[in-house]
A = this chain, B = another copy of it.
Amino acid sequence: MASHGFWSLGGENAGANTGSQSPSTPRAWCQAAAQKLSGGIGSKLCALLNVGEGEKPAEPAAMQPPQTAAGSCGCNKSCTCTKGTDVGFSDLYSTDLLPAMDGDTKTMTFLQEVVDILMAYIVESFDRETKVIDFHYPNELLQLNNWELQDEPATLDDILISCRATLKYAIKTAHPRYFNQLSTGLDMVGLAADWLTSTANTNMFTYEVAPVFVLLEYVTLKKMREIIGWADGRGDGIFSPGGAISNMYAMLLARFKMFPEVKEKGMSSVPKLVAFTSEHSHFSIKKGAAALGIGTESVICIKADECGKLIPADLERRILEAKHKGAWGGSLLMSRRHRWKLDGVERANSVTWNPHKMMSVPLQCSALLVREEGLMQSCNQMHACYLFQQDKQYDLSYDTGDKALQCGRHVDIFKLWLMWRAKGTIGFEAQIDKCLELSEYLYNKIKDREGYQMVFDGKPQHTNVCFWYLPPGIRYMEDKEEKKKRLHKVAPVIKARMMEYGTTMVSYQPQGDKVNFFRMVISNPAATFEDIDFLIEEIERLGHDL
């Protein structure tokens, strides 16, 4: 492997070590972790994350498990756990693992090693002392490791090194100060469920190959429809690969509902269609219109008010608003305090609800809920006889595959179901209420603070808080055009510096005639009031000189 000190503990990107707000070095993190965790776990974690082939840890003393008579597993000499069993990964290849003869022990030892790496990464990710990101430019990152694919197999040792390298440069999406996207945070039950899903490695198209998962999808979709407010939870639905595809499914169904002949005869058989949506709606509506042959020019954007909301002048607009909000606000339905913001959603014919956003279900988990039963099947079915045999021994309504455009469909349900089970409905409610509380806190904190300006008037109804930070040098400028021009460059520079330092991440964007502003979306369940304070201080620290 790499001979360029790839795994050095201190060193590169030393810039991260300036200022009291910036994270400490990995070495210091190791020492802290070793003290914090009992039974030498901290030291072990640290060794797992940082020690690569041919490289000795910088402070061997700190890496030693506390026992003097330690075995290779880090437990006592005579321990029988599989960790550190005498398996030398440098002589082993993937072909030595199951289904190889007598591959059981080697397999378990290998998987345990991977899990140990993952656990160390998880614990580190939640620690505010670590960086959110160890940023490198693409060309730089390409050089930092040999990522190329070879004809010859690599040893399992190399595979473990690749796993560590991948995590070293990954974004710590679980970090309490990672605010960059709606899908932030890492739920431990959701993660466990996702590991189980990977292990079960099956497909959602028929009950035959995924009996439990199909039932759990059935149970969960029904519950979601009840929450939307459809009588007895009746209706239909499906989990799909992301909100954009869910939205496209909804458009497909709407078109089919009005013009069923479009399925066989195509768009030339129907009048010219248009779609109404908010001018602030998600771009997936336009993508869907392009794909479906409606054309983006036939997407009519309805004006939104200063707060970014459609004016609910009439029922039709309210339905449109609910659909628009449905692109990521579905989770508000879980909150008794906030669900009024989606009043009327039960009158929609379909709702896209993305539990991988505010509900923090691991990626991906998006549902399309449909009021009319049977419509999805009629719209999308092609009766592939090799998958959906009609002479099977069980109730065929559980073969959901023909409702989708997809053939194979990933199991996205288990992580949501298991998390729901673990939290209960009230647990999700508490999580969502907390996100809204945090965004209100942020809003209250900056609305009158010097150097800040809100993009929209009034208290945000959701967890988006959009604001400008005006560094002192810009704050008092008189030339409005020049001020705007300079302000436009502030957010990108602060964001780039955040990534260099790796301390936090938050998104920015321009919109219409509004120059680049920060677009804070709070959905990270690990975030606290202190993390919001930190964000403000960090923006000021990094933007003060601009």
Contacts and interface: CB of A to CB of B under 8 A. Distances in A.
A426 B149 CA distance: 11
Contacts of A191: 111, 198-199, 201
Interface in A468-498: 489, 492, 495-496
A75 interface: yes
A287 interface: yes
Contact of A151 (B201, B211, B425): B425
A509 B112 contact: no
A63 B427 CA distance: 37
Interface stretch (A17-25, A244-252, A342-350, A535-543): A244-252
Nearest to A159: B422
B148 A123 contact: no
A300 interface: no
B111 A192 contact: yes
Nearest to A38: B105
Interface stretch (A3-11, A383-391, A451-459): A383-391
A385 B76 contact: no
A375 interface: no
Nearest to A289: B266
A241 B66 CA distance: 47
Q: How many copies does the complex hold?
A: 2
Contacts of A192: 110-111, 114, 159, 163
A215 interface: yes
A209 B181 contact: yes
Given A149-B223, A198-B195, A405 B159 contact: no
Interface string A386-403: 100101111100100000
26 contacts: A40-B80, A65-B80, A66-B80, A73-B81, A74-B80, A94-B419, A95-B427, A98-B126, A114-B195, A149-B219, A151-B426, A162-B418, A166-B213, A170-B202, A186-B199, A191-B201, A198-B198, A241-B406, A242-B407, A244-B407, A248-B405, A264-B290, A266-B295, A290-B382, A386-B511, A391-B516
Given A75-B80, A98-B123, A107-B188, 4 more contacts: A79-B79, A163-B196, A291-B291, A364-B408
- Ranked nearest first, the 8 interchain pairs of A and B with the lowest CB-CB distance are A266-B295, A293-B293, A267-B293, A241-B241, A267-B267, A99-B526, A386-B509, A194-B198
